[in-house]
Amino acid sequence: MVASTLYGICHEDYTCLITTERIVPATSVTRPKQQRLLLLLLFLCFSECLYLLIVALSPLPSLRLFQTPIAAAYPWTLVPMQELLRFVGPSLTALLWRGKVSSWLLLFVICALFSLYSMLIYLLWRPIHAARMTAQSQPPLQRLYQEMLSSRWLLLLLVGVLVFGMTLLFQPRLFSDDVFTYIFSGRILVIYGADPLNTAPYQYASDPYFQWVLSGRTAPNIYGPLWLCVSSLLVSLRTAPAQTLLLFKGLALLTHLLNSILVWAILSRIAPARRFLGTLLYAWNPLAVIELSGSGHSEGLLLLTLLVTVWLLVQGSTLWHRLGVCLLFGLAISINLIAMLVAPLYIWFDLRTQQHMRRIIWGCIWRAAMTLFPAVTIFFPFWRGASTFFALTSAIDMAHFIHSPVGVFAIPLQLAFLAVADALHFPSFLHPFLSADITLRATATLIFVLIYAHLFSRVKRAPTTPVARHHSLQNDAEMHLAGYDILLSSCGIAVFWYMILVSGWFWPWYMLWILWAIVLGGLDAFAGTVLVLSGTSLLLYPFHRLVGEPIATYEPALIFGIPLLYLIVVCRRQRKRERMQATYDRRS
């Protein structure tokens, strides 16, 4: 019913926007605007109902989510669950309380959320894209096209973020306990005066927050020094556990709001034609809403720093702008080391116009120095010599694959190595499983190095003038600043393949590392694949509670196979259109 309602609205909107042989009358200009607003309001209402259902499901013990002090401090947060159980009746209540029905229901809610999100994006993008491609010069359609550029639409998007965020802010149980590891790391530094990079939480088992730290109890939690400072600042307020948790989640919600405004501001400068759709892609993305507002991950501050960096980058190219961009990249590195993949691409992009090798070398040196200066300065108080070095290096798990796409090939390779070891009678001290994992890791890392090196050549060839930009069909036609589409897509590709090939771990919030660069670009095949993966990655949460079910064995295929299938279908369609266009040109 929801799908048919949304499709009916958009289909009527589309038919009144586009005609093949005549111009739409000016009297019908205001009609699609009202329908578009109704479409957004319907999506907001339906999505809010689904987020409320997540809040109602989270306290159920059968889901085994991570406990929080919110339910004890604010009993009214359990009202959605109580109303849900009263609605389903006594028979289904027992199944929801003890069985796996709640996991299946959570799976349905996540699929419904992402389906609504995908449908909204498609229904908003299709008529605007068709109007731009087929009737760009018609004044009434131009006015319709400009309607979506008004700042009043940004207010609607921010209202949606606040509604979704405030709903998940008081979620009684969480999908991840990372926010409690943030709190505990801050307490180790502020309360106990110890080094959080070399101290495991179990050493302070009597701490009142220890009961909520589960996944990171036995090992030091390695976070960027700037994030440790932020965590220590919030912990130093000495509030109750529930209020402390709300402080961290409230900070994540605030960063999500600021990030939405920054995406709007950046796209207003580089690609005004898609600033509404690009902001919508980020602001109402279910992954961003759940992981930031719901779980309070530190990626919100990382994205805020990176988006401020891009905003300053597009403001000008003077020496002061370059210096500020380098310093901001250093702050991003001090939050999360993943930013080290992005900063070199920017440095090379900024030097692409230089021809003399001496200037290129000198430019790389001073930009790299300015980038590393804030990171090293913030990290210096936490440095304890060799112990800190080994703590950082040991945080990179080279022996295990946890939800990693590359880990799918680990078991077949281990079986192959075991068969060879048995056939050739290898000695017992040679471990075939370890050899298989090292071979797989080395091969994947080598492939990533080759991809990353190719991105440098791609950035180097980025156009420097609008004339050069229009000569290439691969460049973004809507981008006002030459070469920035290549830089942003290269940043997204670098982080994507690092996450796929190098990182042995994969969790849904890792997709936020890529989302900031994707929403600033156009909706091409790669961007669509990343957006689909951002939705399917959330399936990890219900699959964890469906252990033993037949569908759980297909977890990697569903999470990574669906985006891969989407990429294949889109690429085949693009090649088919290119062949048809080439045939038409030859006949003409």
DSSP one-letter code for 234: H
Enclosing domain of residue 75: 1-148
Q: Please state at what angle helix 101-134 crosses helix 30-57, rounded to 10 degrees.
A: 160
CA dihedral for 444, 449, 453, 458, sign (positive or negative) = positive
3-state SS of 240-306 is CHHHHHHHHHHHHHHHHHHHHHHHHHHHHHHCHHHHHHHHHHHHCCHHHHHHHHHCCCCHHHHHHHH
How would DSSP label each residue in 403-454? S-SGGGGHHHHHHHHHHHHHHHT--TTS-HHHHHHHHHHHHHHHHHHHHHHH
* Domain membership flag for residue 432: no
How would DSSP label each residue in 14-50? HHHH--SSSPPPGGGSHHHHHHHHHHHHHHHHHHHHH
* Domain membership flag for residue 497: no
* Domain membership flag for residue 519: no
Instruction: Give the per-residue pLDDT at 261.
Output: 95
Count the helices and strands in the chain (H runs, E runs). 25, 0
* Domain membership flag for residue 48: yes
Is the distance from CB of 333 to CB of 224 less than 8 angstroms? yes
Domains: count for the chain: 1
* Domain membership flag for residue 577: no
Per-residue confidence in pLDDT tens, the chain, 588 aa:
444 544 444 444 433 433 333 334 433 344 466 778 888 999 999 999 999 999 999 998 888 889 999 999 999 999 999 888 888 878 788 777 777 788 889 999 999 999 999 999 988 877 666 655 554 444 444 454 455 566 788 999 999 999 999 999 999 999 998 999 999 999 999 999 888 888 888 889 888 999 998 887 887 878 889 999 999 999 998 888 999 999 999 999 999 999 999 999 999 888 888 888 899 999 999 999 999 999 999 999 999 999 999 999 999 888 899 999 999 999 999 999 899 999 999 999 999 888 888 889 999 999 999 999 999 999 888 887 777 777 776 666 555 677 777 777 777 887 887 787 777 777 666 677 777 778 888 888 899 999 999 999 999 888 877 655 544 445 566 777 778 888 999 999 999 999 888 887 888 999 999 999 999 987 888 888 999 999 999 988 888 776 656 666 667 778 888 888 888 888 888 788 777 766 666 666
Instruction: Give the per-residue pLDDT at 11.
Output: 43
CB atoms within 10 A of CB 469: 21
The phi and psi torsions of 174 (rounded to 5 degrees) equal -115, 155
* Domain membership flag for residue 254: no
CA dihedral for 569, 574, 580, 586, sign (positive or negative) = negative
Distance separating alpha carbons of residues 113 and 46, to the nearest angstrom = 9
Collapsed DSSP state (helix, strand, coil) of residue 402: strand
Q: Tokens 């004890």 label which residue?
A: 72
* Domain membership flag for residue 109: yes
Is the distance from CB of 530 to CB of 492 less than 8 angstroms? yes
User: In angstroms, what CA-CA distances link 242 with 78, 186, 245, 374?
Assistant: 15, 16, 5, 33
Instruction: Give the per-residue pLDDT at 87.
Output: 87
Q: Tokens 């606040």 label which residue?
A: 162
CA dihedral for 163, 164, 165, 170, sign (positive or negative) = positive
* Domain membership flag for residue 32: yes
Distance separating alpha carbons of residues 493 and 564, to the nearest angstrom = 15
How would DSSP label each residue in 452-476? HHHHHHHHHTS-SSHHHHHT-TTS-
